[in-house]
Amino acid sequence: MSKRISVVLNQSVSKLGNNGDLVEVAPGYARNYLIPQSLAVLATPGIVKQVEQRREKERQEKLAVKQAAENKKTAFKTIGLLTIRKQVGEADAIFGSVTAQEIADVIQEQTGIEVDRRGIEVPDISKTGEYQAEVKLHPEVSAMVDFQVIPL
């Protein structure tokens, strides 16, 4: 058995690793395939240091995005009750339903906070009244938004 060498991947390689990963491979695999195809470079101390700096920077960026989501969550706690106007029939039954896009538009209009409609989970709404919707701001952060449906 020959000794294995360390390389840093420039691109994701299936069954080996992702971009920026430090992996150990057989010398022939590195010399004959990974390096000539520009899929990897030999792991020198300088390159390893660059990889560590890049990973730290990515971690800091992810942390900043999560912190921004936490700030939005606190903003949602302070906004209070949002109002959605819908056309109403007999027995306070609304025509149609309240969609995630309508909730996103009301949040944008009344608070100035932009929210992706795909992250909003709306309960089934068939009558006027007060409801809650869950808004996913980040994979680890979600907030509850109170809103009321009233007649036009």
Same domain, 54 and 89: no
Q: Report, as an integer, the average pLDDT of 2-6.
A: 86
Q: 85-110 burial string, b = 16+ CB within 10 Å, else e? A: ebebeeeeebeeebebebbbebbeee
Domain shared by 49 and 113, yes or no: no
Closest CA to 19 of 31, 29, 10: 10
Q: Distance between CA 106 and CA 117 in Å, rounded?
A: 11
What is the pLDDT confidence band of residue 46, given thresholds at 50, 70 and 90?
very high
pTM: 0.65
CATH number of 40's domain = 3.40.5.10
Say if residue 27 is in the same domain as residue 87. no
71 and 58 together in one domain: no
The 10s digit of each residue's pLDDT in 67-104 is 988 888 888 888 888 888 888 888 888 888 888 898 89
What confidence tens digit (pLDDT) does each residue in 95-139 have?
Answer: 888 888 988 998 888 888 888 889 899 888 888 889 998 989 888
How many domains, in total, are found in the chain?
2
Residues 54 and 75 in one domain: no
99 and 30 part of one domain: no
Residues 101 and 129 in one domain: yes
Its domain, for residue 56, covers: 5-62
Distance, CA of 140 to CA of 137 (rounded, Å): 8
Residues 82 and 57 in one domain: no
Angle between helices 100-111 and 45-79 (to 10 degrees): 80
| 114: CATH | 3.10.430.100
